[in-house]
Amino acid sequence: MRMHIGRSKSVFARSLLASLLLFSGVGIQSVAAADPAEAKPAAAKAARSKPLAPLPRRFGTEQGRSPTKEVPDFQRHVSPLLGRLGCNGRACHGSFQGQGGFQLSLFGYDFKADYDALLDQDSCRVDLEDYLESLILTKPVDADMHDGGKRYEHGGWEYWVLRNWIEAGAPFDAGEQQKLERLVVTPAELNFTAAKQHQQLKAIAVWEDGSTEDVTCLCRFQSNDSAIAEIDETGRVTSLAAGDTHLVVSYDKAVVPVLSLQPVSKQVGDDYPRVAARTQIDRLVIQKLRKLGIVPSEICTDEEFLRRASLDATGTLPKPEEVLEFVQDRSPTKRADKINELLERPSYAAQWTTFLCDITGNNEDQLRNFLPTQVRPSNQWYQWIYQRLEDNVPYDQIVEGIVTATSRLPDESYQDYCRAMSDICRDNDGDLFAERPGLVHYWARNNFRTAEERAIGFAYSFLGVRIQCAQCHKHPFDQWSKADFDQFEQLFGGVQARQNSLSPDAKKQFTKMVSALGIDNKVKGNQLRRELGGLLKDGKVVPMPELVVTPPRTSRKQKGQPAKPRQAKLLGSDWVPLDQADVRGKLMDWLRSPENPYFAKAIANRVWAQYFGRGIVDPVDDLNLANAPSNGPLLDYLAQGFVDSGYDLKWLHREILNSDTYQRSWIPNETNRFDKRNFSRSELRRLSAEATYDAVRMAVANDQLAEKTRQLDLDRALTKPGASARANNRDDQSYALTVFGRSVRESNCDCDRSNEPSLLQTVFLVNDSAVQSWLSDAKTSWAAQVADKYGWEPSPGSPAAAARAKQLQQLLDRFAKQVRDIDQRIEKAQAANQNKLVTALKKRRTEMIQRGRGTAKKNGVLSQFNQRLAQLDSPTEEHHSDEPASARRMTEEQALWVAEQAYLRTLSRQPNARELDRVVSFLRSEDHPTVAVEGLMWSLINTKEFILNH
């Protein structure tokens, strides 16, 4: 008795199967049977029937004639054969220009277009009247005749497949294309034990009608890392270097990754050492490492953990006293407690707001033509996200506020909307805008206006998918075809958010408000924006643009039938009737649906990459079937746990931060020295642009400035709202962020941000005037704070010191002139034997020098005064300092304190004995202690240990 499966349950079952297979060693088509219940008879038939033998066995040569009268199928056999032979590749007939007057669809997934091209009389590729003269039979077997070289043997199985098809009249019905249910590749995982071992892959196609066939000979194969394993055109795999990679098998619309492993050591199976696994993350990571013979690194030190977690979670260096307190804490839960504390800091919200602004595209340049001038929509965008992260709003609700954003509140009139937005736009901080439920600005960007741009940007932001390839042709590494892209983009066509976008009820009111403000109705465009911006600044209520959704057009009427609504299709999912003005709600429902294999995985993978320097799927914005996760079960666990938590971002952060996998040392062992994919140790990572700028600024700043910056009471790079190419060199901060690779947010690609090192970065830290100023500034530098603490004179490099030097020079010049005048008078008096006058002049000279010293002491430049005075040619007076020279240098106690604090401020640890000896020796050898402190801080911020998160 067969049980009927309800629609909702069947959809869930299908989506669950899809999600399980999508990120494992088995592939499945997004175009699987509509209902598993309907597919059961076919599946049962397929299970009972033996797959058809591969084509080489069915079409192998027999004394120069075909051994079979079987007619090949164009979709199942002819088209994939042309793909395997390379005919529809980029370098051949699949290019946009084609080759030799003959063009095929790239990768051969437009069956109708390829069929028409083959049978086109001008191309002569298929000649139904004289089939032996068909060029697809004559050219590929002759290397001299064919620019692409010899592709197969005359009389070989490939030849007979094509010849039998042509002889039969080249049959193909474009209206009855078949659907591939799945491609089963065996073995699903390859486990080699040494190099130069071989294993054969086998691919069985399972079609919707239940038929099965061995299509190994028709598949295209590639290795994601040919240094680990290579695969030939027949599917034969050869192991090379130790490690792991995926081999990708493609046929029809199926793309199947197969994991290949070769242990890097003999420590596998029972010989694998016992490794603690406190969390599910650790268990899943070690499960993979055990197969590879990779032993993870030890747990990092407390100092390393605190610095790493603080920078990763909050983009901020820990305070020196925080480091000491954490190291001295003996609580077994201190790391978990610190994680909870970090996630409650304002800098946590700021750090991850910057992250979400990157992936959603908060770019100031792209928002210039929406609101009136002098308004900073990028600030509003930033604050909108910041407020929700600070309140720990679930991620799906944040995304919902973006995807389904509307300008007006329910029942809000256009007048009330303009009044509210006028107040909001006068709030430069963006706090008032954060109270609005929707982030309309996401839809208002200049580079996000067409349906194509929105489909690509949406897939990038919320799905982690690069779908732009499918704009023109079948995605080379995924299931998406041009038809899939065209159907998906239909969901985005009706949304408008421009300077002049207004709902029907607002257009007359807009014109009326403009006239009431005294603006000529002929004023349009940017001139109108400028005039409205000026009035807004004066406190006026000005008319505002709004997001408008235009109802989609219905399809053309058929005779005697009413017009039907157009349809769009969700990626790999159901058709959506465009039967209402705004279908974005359906788009959001799909994101949350269990059928969606991307939404939760994309954000989980991206957050993981922020903590480890690479994603479980990497690049993180390229989730596709060929780019399989390095640890599929791990990604599945994080994504499902994230959904089960109610899309709680802090759950995701805690789960990662509390794992031993995150807390491992960066120091490798013999087994994981070359591991880059399996998270067996912490990877050394350059700090992000924002973290670098803030770390330098805060490390060399005095305690008061550093704390205000840490608490976000002062602007910092982490809180810079929108990217802007126009501001790249406007100030020190913008220049530094550009040099260190801050995301420009111009394209739908994570490559907008760069963490690559460059010479300009070194030059900035070593020699930029901004850094030199931060090190020596008399009011804000830590060196000046230390100098004030110990009563040292300020650095001569500071502005205040320069002013004092000028003051000293003027003082010395004045006294030097007076001293020379008196000395001349003394010489004359001595020559005239006027002894009383000589005595009086000498007394006056002594008093003058004493007064000068008093003035110099009062102005804090006594030692400089004495040094300069001693240089004067004064034979009648012996000059000396009131203090011994050694008193101007740092004491050992002072040097020890400075060394420890400097290391804590920059490297978040205390110096070791060797470092301490060298640093103390350097500090005590310098004549000017403030300059010595600056030199030490300059040296520390230019170390790899400072610029890298470890």
> Residue type at 234?
T
State residue 861's pLDDT score. 60
Strand locations in 370-528 (E): 495-496
State residue 83's pLDDT score. 82
State residue 845's pLDDT score. 83
Measure the CA–CA gap between 631 and 292, rounded to whole angstroms.
Answer: 12
CA 467, 469, 475, 476 torsion: positive or negative? Answer: negative
Yes or no: say if 242 and 202 are a contact pair by the CB < 8 Å rule: no
Measure the CA–CA gap between 325 and 841, rounded to whole angstroms.
Answer: 65
Tokens of 878: 């012996």
877 band by pLDDT with thresholds 50, 70 and 90: very low
For the residues 820-845, what does the mean pLDDT come to?
Answer: 86
Among residues 238, 253, 212, which one has the least CA distance to residue 48?
Answer: 212
Measure the CA–CA gap between 205 and 539, rounded to whole angstroms.
Answer: 69
State residue 4's pLDDT score. 35
> Residue type at 38?
E
CB < 8 Å & 24+ apart, contacts of 937-942 = 937/699, 937/700, 937/775, 937/782, 937/783, 937/902, 937/905, 937/906, 938/771, 938/775, 940/699, 940/902, 940/903, 940/906, 940/907, 941/696, 941/699, 941/700, 941/765, 941/771, 941/906, 942/762, 942/765, 942/766
State residue 883's pLDDT score. 44
Tokens of 101: 């007057």
Tokens of 573: 């999912």
pLDDT tens sequence across 290-312:
999 999 999 999 999 999 999 99
Tokens of 534: 């000026």
Cis peptide before 668 (omega within 30 of 0): no
Yes or no: say if 321 and 902 are a contact pair by the CB < 8 Å rule: no
CA angle 801, 806, 810 (to 5 degrees): 145
867 band by pLDDT with thresholds 50, 70 and 90: low
Yes or no: say if 523 and 531 are a contact pair by the CB < 8 Å rule: yes
798 band by pLDDT with thresholds 50, 70 and 90: low
State residue 44's pLDDT score. 43
Of 203-207, 394-398, 487-491, 937-941, the range with the lowest mean pLDDT is 487-491
| Residue 806 clears pLDDT 80, i.e. is over it | no
Among residues 768, 771, 792, which one has the least CA distance to residue 780?
Answer: 771
| Residue 849 clears pLDDT 70, i.e. is over it | yes
Q: What phi, psi does 198 have (nearest 5°)?
A: -130, 150
CA dihedral angle for residue 833, residue 836, residue 839, residue 843, rounded to 10 degrees? -140
For the residues 666-680, what does the mean pLDDT come to?
Answer: 96
Report the mean per-residue pLDDT for the chain: 85
Instruction: Tell me the sheet residues that pair with 207.
Output: 180
State residue 147's pLDDT score. 66
| Residue 115 clears pLDDT 60, i.e. is over it | yes
Measure the CA–CA gap between 344 and 718, rounded to whole angstroms.
Answer: 16
Cis peptide before 619 (omega within 30 of 0): yes
> Residue type at 670?
E
Residue at token pair 């990768």: 107
| Residue 131 clears pLDDT 90, i.e. is over it | no
8 band by pLDDT with thresholds 50, 70 and 90: very low
Measure the CA–CA gap between 428 and 434, rounded to whole angstroms.
Answer: 12
State residue 822's pLDDT score. 85
7 band by pLDDT with thresholds 50, 70 and 90: very low
Of 110-119, 202-211, 376-385, 611-620, the range with the lowest mean pLDDT is 110-119
| 724 or 323, greater pLDDT | 323
For the residues 414-429, what does the mean pLDDT come to?
Answer: 94
| Residue 551 clears pLDDT 80, i.e. is over it | no
> Residue type at 202?
K
Among residues 823, 818, 875, 822, which one has the least CA distance to residue 852?
Answer: 818
CA dihedral angle for residue 66, residue 71, residue 77, residue 79, rounded to 10 degrees? 110
Instruction: Tell me the sheet residues that pair with 229.
Output: 239
Among residues 297, 244, 252, 343, which one has the least CA distance to residue 25?
Answer: 244
| Residue 276 clears pLDDT 70, i.e. is over it | yes
State residue 568's pLDDT score. 86
Of 374-378, 415-419, 941-945, the range with the lowest mean pLDDT is 374-378
pLDDT tens sequence across 228-240:
999 999 999 999 9
C-beta neighbour count of 845 within 10 angstroms: 20
Pair type for strands 202-207 and 180-186: antiparallel
For 808, 842, 852, the CA distances from 821, given in Å and listed in that order, are 20, 12, 16
Pair type for strands 495-496 and 948-949: unpaired
Q: What's this model's pTM, rounded to 2 decimal places?
A: 0.84
State residue 574's pLDDT score. 84
Please state the length of the chain.
950
State residue 475's pLDDT score. 63
pLDDT tens sequence across 576-632:
888 777 889 999 999 999 989 999 999 999 999 999 999 999 999 999 988 999 999
Contacts of 270 (CB under 8 A, 6+ apart): none
State residue 47's pLDDT score. 45
State residue 125's pLDDT score. 82
| Residue 930 clears pLDDT 70, i.e. is over it | yes
State residue 818's pLDDT score. 81
C-beta neighbour count of 378 within 10 angstroms: 24
> Residue type at 640?
Q
State residue 284's pLDDT score. 98
Measure the CA–CA gap between 133 and 123, rounded to whole angstroms.
Answer: 12
State residue 876's pLDDT score. 41
For 96, 384, 805, 827, the CA distances from 817, given in Å and listed in that order, are 86, 67, 18, 15
> Residue type at 286?
I
CA dihedral angle for residue 905, residue 910, residue 914, residue 920, rounded to 10 degrees? 50
Measure the CA–CA gap between 505 and 415, rounded to whole angstroms.
Answer: 11
The DSSP line for 464-506 is ----GGGGTS--TTSS--HHHHHHHHGGGTTEE-STT---HHH
374 band by pLDDT with thresholds 50, 70 and 90: confident
For 372, 386, 451, 693, the CA distances from 748, given in Å and listed in that order, are 26, 22, 14, 25
State residue 794's pLDDT score. 84
State residue 21's pLDDT score. 33
CB-count exposure of residue 452 (10 Å: 0-12, 13-18, 19+): middle
Among residues 498, 504, 356, 507, which one has the least CA distance to residue 441?
Answer: 498
Q: Would you call 229 helix, strand, or coil by DSSP?
A: strand
C-beta neighbour count of 44 within 10 angstroms: 11
687 band by pLDDT with thresholds 50, 70 and 90: very high
